[in-house]
Structure 1
Amino acid sequence: MAEENGHIDAGHPTEQGASVSFPGPPPHIYSCTLTPELVAKAREELQEKPEWRLRDVQALRDMILKEQPNLRTRLDDAFLLRFLRARKFDYDRALQLLLNYHGSRRAWPEVFQDLKPSTVRHVLDQGFLTVLPYPDPQGRYILCLRPGKWKPNDYPFVDNIRAIYLTLERLIQPEETQVNGIVILVDYTGVGLSQASNPGPLLAKKVVGILQDGFPIRIKAVHIINEPRIFKGIFAIIKPFLKEKMAERYVLHGSDLASLHRVIPRSVLPEVYGGVAGQLDLSAWSRTLLESEEEFVVEFCQPDPLEGVLLPDSSLFEGEQNDDTFRGLRSQLYYCY
């Protein structure tokens, strides 16, 4: 895979031999990489004013240094901008998101300990997830999840969470993704009772908590396809933890791929989703992630960033379900199955 000008060649979905690139990370010293169209979009949707951008970053940096002087976090412009954009330049909410982001590591050590692509190679090889190498018409990259590819006896479900988190970390680096957000496509083909009942409500809440309140990314839509009857039980586990705005972004298509193509054009999707793209190299994202190994070692294989930091009680993982709740939801899964 060639890397030129910060972009990684991933192949083109419509013409074999042509190329399209996953966007690369921004420069170490911040320089805006947004097109004029995306600058206008950021102004309208995120309240980002180019003339005030670095002033806003400095304001957030000052808040961190004053209110959380012991927090071990990156303070460079590019990093802090992720949190400001994710919270529409509200300083207080951006700071809370940053604290949640680091707090997730302490609250869920089995996900974040030794977190790097080589430790989830088996998840990537299994085909549980990929990112399509071509964005949708709104410029949003599409994260594809295929839970049916996971077999509970092969490895623990938490490894899937590790692979998803690393993927989000790589996706959020380019500024265009910070502004456009991403789309998630979940294909439930092959999902049975063993996959559906394994994660449980506590694990579901932790995943939703990170996606909604612990990571600086905008999830603009979640499309579900080929969902079985059992999905009613799966969604019953997830829905109580979703904010109303996020719940409204879930779209169930069943086996009606025509309805999916109305929101994601056929040319963007590989042949396995009924598109006309021909055979895409769905391993391109795995290579992209694995080639970022050193970067993730620097980012995650370090001491606890919250060591010595006094935080108020976090709501990120509060309200853990008791056994009775889990048994009730498991019974509902059996009923739906």
Structure 2
Amino acid sequence: MMGAEISEKSKRKAKEELGETDESRERCLSELKVHSNVTAPYGGSVQPSEDKDLIKFLRARKFDVQKAADLFRSYHTKRLVLHDFSQLQSSSTYKDYLKTLAHNWGNYIAVLDRPDTQGRRIVICRESSSFQSSACADANRPSTLWFFLILDWLLETCKDMQVNGIVVITDMKDFSLSQFQWLLTHPGALKERITSIQDGVPMRIKCIRIANEPMIFSMVYALVSPFLKQKLRQRIKTVSTRYEEIYKVLDGSNNENNDWKNIMPKSVGGKVSWSELTESTVQNVLDYYLQFDSI
């Protein structure tokens, strides 16, 4: 059964927080499979509608079938218009383009191997590596596709995360005025990045902490906030260089901050180099996707 793919602890949380039981799961999956949003073609073809493909949409929307169906539609429509996504749909370009994405944008995101005390996976983004201020919009847009692929990889390889969600740590170290100016002049690319992840991925984003924010952060946030849903805005908190606040989020009341420092990047008070973390993430992501011939 689908519920057997997650741990007993996650099953209990799914029941308490999402209303997931054997009965509700079976009923909602049956309803979702025949919903017009699921049976409709996207990009000229009908998408997989097996239980393992649909359950993540139900969990992301607390088993509200209509909301899950809307998310399914948003996921497939937004994915199709991500820059160069078509390169991943063709077996002739798929593997080479994956490697190109990893080479160009692998320094942007790191995913820790260890979940936090609530079972949430930890995604760290270094915003200064997410785009080049001298580039045109289309040259920077593939970074959003890389982020999308990483979250998809997590959903497929860590089923418990469909219940527990993720913690996002945004590290703004070295974020420059020229990068702010680029965002200011490319609002469409900024909107695509935010809404593709927020509205298109069946992911429970439980907490966002922003570290090392520059003096211009208030202006950056003024650009970003109109695209954020209220619930997500409420989960954002800046910590500047008070890195212990990040460790409290991850560790709860276990008082094991030193253990976290051993696996966190130096830029947020840890002991590991950023390159070591991103190289590990890139390798894990490529190992997963290179099993296939296309998406």
After TM superposition, the structure 1 = structure 2 runs for residues 103-118 of structure 1, keeping only pairs within 5 Å, are: 103-106=77-80, 108-115=81-88, 117-118=98-99
Given that 2:71 and 2:202 are in contact with CA atoms closer than 8 Å, whether structure 1 keeps it comes out as yes
SS at match of 2:191: helix
Q: Which residue type is aligned with residue 248 of structure 2?
A: R
Identify the match of residue 191 of structure 2 among 201, 205, 218: 205
Kept in 1, the 8 Å contact 2:133–2:179? The answer is: yes
Give distance in 2, aligned partners of 1:237 and 1:247. Answer: 13
Paired position in structure 1 for 2:285 = 289
The answer to whether structure 1 residue 241 and structure 2 residue 227 are counterparts is: yes
Q: Tell me by how many angstroms 1:247 deviates.
A: 0.2
The answer on whether the counterparts of 1:111 and 1:161 sit within 8 Å (CA) in structure 2 is no
For 2:124, what is the secondary structure of its paired residue?
strand
Amino acid at match of 1:162: L
Separation of aligned partners in 1, 2:214 and 2:274? 26
In structure 2, which of residues 139, 147, 160 is the aligned counterpart of residue 164 of structure 1? 147
Aligned to 2:91: none
2:102 paired residue number: 121
- The answer to whether the aligner puts 1:41 opposite 2:36 as a matched pair is no
Taking the TM superposition and a 5 Å limit, the aligned residue runs for 1:1-337 are: 30=2, 32-64=4-36, 68=40, 72-106=46-80, 108-115=81-88, 117-125=98-106, 127-149=107-129, 150-153=131-134, 156-173=139-156, 174-199=158-183, 200-265=186-251, 266=257, 267-268=259-260, 269-272=263-266, 273-275=268-270, 281-282=276-277, 283-295=279-291, 297-299=293-295
Q: TM-score, normalised by structure 1?
A: 0.72
CA shift at 1:31, angstroms?
6.2
- 8 Å contact kept, 2:79–2:200: no
1:295 to 1:63, Cα distance in 2 relative to 1, 3 A: farther
Q: Residues 38 and 202 of structure 1: is their aligned pair in 2 closer, same or farther, counting only changes over 3 Å? A: same
Instruction: List alignment gaps of at least 5 residues for structure 2.
Output: 89-93, 252-256
* Residues 122 and 154 of structure 1: CA distance in aligned 2, closer, same or farther (over 3 Å): farther
Report the Cα distance in structure 2 between the residues aligned to 1:124 and 1:203, rounded to whole angstroms.
16
CA distance in 2: counterparts of 1:202 and 1:280, whole angstroms:
30
Within 1, Cα distance between the matches of 2:274 and 2:39? 52
Structure showing greater radius of gyration is 1
Does structure 2 retain, via aligned residues, the 8 Å contact 1:124–1:286? no
Q: Is the 8 A contact 1:185 1:222 kept in 2?
A: yes
Match of 1:293, as an amino acid? Y
- For residue 211 of structure 1, report the CA deviation from its aligned partner: 2.2
Q: CA deviation at 1:96?
A: 0.8
The one-letter code matched in structure 2 to 1:186 is T
Residue 249 of structure 2 aligns to a residue in which SS?
coil
Contact 1:147 1:195 in 2 (8 A): no
Q: Cα distance, 1:278 vs. partner? A: 8.9
Contact kept in structure 2, 1:130 and 1:145, CA below 8 Å: yes
C-alpha offsets along residues 255-278 of structure 1, whole Å, 9 cap, x if unaligned? Answer: 111222221343234251213679
1:320 alignment partner in structure 2:
none
Structure-2 change in CA distance of 1:271 and 1:100 (3 Å) = closer
Measure the CA separation in 2 of the matches of 1:263 and 1:65: 37
- Larger displacement relative to structure 2 (151-160 or 186-195): 151-160
The structure whose RCO (Cα within 8 Å, separation 6+) is larger is 1
Cα gap change, 1:83 to 1:260, in 2 (>3 Å): same
Q: Which amino acid aligns with 1:165?
A: F
Residues 31 and 220 (structure 1), Cα distance of their counterparts in 2 relative to 1, 3 Å cut: closer
- 1:280 to partner: Cα distance: 9.1
Q: CA RMSD in A?
A: 2.6
Q: Determine the C-alpha separation between the residues in 1 that align with 2:18 and 2:231.
A: 16
- What is the percent sequence identity of the aligned residues? 30
C-alpha contact (below 8 Å) 1:129/1:164 kept by paired residues? yes
What amino acid is the match of 1:105?
R
For the 8 Å contact 1:224–1:253, the answer to whether it is kept is yes
Determine the C-alpha separation between the residues in 1 that align with 2:231 and 2:38: 33
CA shift at 1:153, angstroms? 4.3
